[in-house]
């Protein structure tokens, strides 16, 4: 594997996913010098807590150094600077670039202007490949494997970049079934259904959650994302479509695990937090180790 940039999970192979899962587990309790003397630019032009801080924690744990943009208003993009100019300048200041941007396709645009190691931390409603990898790592750890599992996605499946990114990786495995639960207005785009069909993976769509919980190994909740709606009335109409309570969780198998990319608003009640099935805070922690694995590997490949 000689990958030095990652903009979409669609580019990954099963061998790469398996490698990164293993590497993340190996780095779980490590502090290393793999990025000793390396400067990482953390470029977050869209709000982020977990992705930004887990990347920055990963850099520190690998012995690297950081320069940071925490929001677009603090950069020359506020003055109208084009993304390509921003990337051309910052690649001169840093050895590795990590970027989140509100525009779909921005990551693919950025790598046209740098050959430095680059990781997409989310581009609009399009892709979030490092989240997809940490999700796969979480499924592996929580369920003891990925093949043969029934995965349920609930909530905003139309705009949910975490769902879209994860589906590319699940399609590389022999999952038992994928269950999509959403309001009609937020259904999974047909492209992803066609992809699953092509891979021979069973799937189904419904708007009702409770009746499908008993067959799920993973119940992946998502937030109805206000920032993706042009019409706020539609957002407030759909907000609260699904609220996961402890009673609903108990409808599932004791081994079922609840995942969520976070932040949550009202879609999982806090009473669920103390249940064994609640994996979302462990999932968030796993982001550190997966991003350590990515940073270490891409930098090593770049220098070969």
Active site residues: 50-51, 79, 100, 128
Q: Give the distance between the most distant pair of CA atoms in the chain.
A: 54
* Matching residue, tokens 């969520």: 260
Tokens encoding 28: 């779980």
User: Of 215, 235, 234, which Cα lies nearest the Cα of 225?
Assistant: 235
List of E strands, 155-303 = 177-181, 203-206, 218-221, 257-259
Exposed e or buried b per residue across 260-283, where buried means at least 16 C-beta atoms within 10 angstroms of its C-beta:
bbbebeebbeeebeeeebbbbeeb
Q: At 270, give phi and psi (nearest 5°).
A: -65, -20
The answer to whether 199 and 168 have CB atoms below 8 angstroms apart is no
CA angle 34, 37, 40 (to 5 degrees): 85
Strand bridging mode 257-259 / 218-221: parallel
What does the alpha-carbon distance between residue 194 and residue 178 come to, in Å, rounded to a whole number? 13
| Pairwise CA distance, residues 277 & 146, whole Å | 17
The full 3-state SS of 262-289, as one line of letters, equals CCCCCCECHHHCCCCCECHHHHHHHHHH
């Amino acid at each position: 594997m000689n990958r030095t940039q990652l903009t979409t999970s669609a580019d990954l192979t099963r061998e790469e996913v398996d490698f990164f899962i293993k590497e993340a587990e190996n780095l779980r309790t490590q502090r290393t010098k793999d990025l000793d003397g390396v400067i990482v630019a953390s470029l977050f032009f869209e709000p982020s807590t977990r992705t930004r801080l887990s990347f920055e924690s990963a850099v520190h744990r690998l012995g690297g150094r950081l320069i940071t943009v925490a929001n677009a208003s603090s950069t020359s993009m506020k003055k109208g600077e084009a993304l390509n100019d921003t990337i051309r300048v910052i690649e001169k200041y840093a050895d590795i670039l990590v970027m989140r941007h509100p525009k779909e396709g921005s990551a693919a645009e950025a790598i046209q202007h740098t050959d430095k190691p680059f990781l997409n931390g989310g581009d609009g409603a399009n892709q979030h490949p490092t989240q997809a990898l940490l999700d796969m790592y979480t499924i592996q750890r929580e369920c003891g494997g990925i093949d043969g599992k029934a995965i349920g996605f609930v909530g905003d499946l139309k705009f949910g970049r975490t769902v879209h990114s994860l589906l590319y990786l699940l399609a590389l495995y022999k999952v038992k079934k994928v269950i999509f639960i959403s309001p009609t207005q937020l259904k999974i785009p047909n492209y992803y259904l066609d992809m699953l069909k092509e891979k021979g993976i069973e799937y189904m769509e419904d708007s009702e959650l409770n009746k499908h919980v008993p067959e799920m190994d993973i119940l992946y909740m998502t937030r109805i994302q206000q920032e993706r709606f042009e019409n706020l009335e539609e957002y407030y109409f759909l907000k609260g479509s699904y609220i996961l309570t402890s009673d609903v969780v108990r409808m599932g198998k004791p081994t079922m695990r609840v995942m969520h990319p976070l932040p949550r608003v009202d879609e999982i009640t806090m009473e669920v937090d103390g249940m064994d099935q609640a994996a979302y805070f462990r999932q968030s922690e796993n982001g550190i180790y997966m991003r350590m694995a990515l940073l270490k590997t891409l930098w090593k490949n770049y220098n070969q």
